[in-house]
Amino acid sequence: MKNKRRILANADIAEIVLAPPRGHQHLRATIKLHSGEEIILQEATVANLVRAYVGIKTHPKRRSYRLIGRELTEAEMKKGFAAWQLLEKESGTGS
């Protein structure tokens, strides 16, 4: 991939489908672009994005949210959760 940054606008998107794949329990978001490309986000990724979005939009001062991916140790993991998690990093509230 030459360009490491890509901005998707509503006009780039032909369709978004949110549903579990056949035989699976967890949702996946499939973003189909007019270019023919598809971007598939797993449920945990969408949940983290929504959590950050709501955290900014509903907070009186918060202006950013940063999630950093890392692998948890067995002692840090919640039962039933994956080892790889997107965890909140401290971000500024801005003015």
User: What's the pLDDT score for residue 3?
Assistant: 78
* Domain spans, the chain: 11-89
User: What's the pLDDT score for residue 95?
Assistant: 41
User: What's the pLDDT score for residue 48?
Assistant: 95
User: What's the pLDDT score for residue 1?
Assistant: 54
User: What's the pLDDT score for residue 89?
Assistant: 82
User: Is 76 in a helix, a strand, or coil?
Assistant: coil
Confidence (pTM): 0.79
| AA identity, residue 36 | G
pLDDT average per 10 residues of sequence, the chain (95 residues): 86 98 96 97 95 94 93 92 87 51
C-alpha atoms less than 13 angstroms from C-alpha of 38 in its C-beta half-sphere: 9
Q: How far separated are the first and last CA of the chain, in Å rounded?
A: 37
User: What's the pLDDT score for residue 81?
Assistant: 87
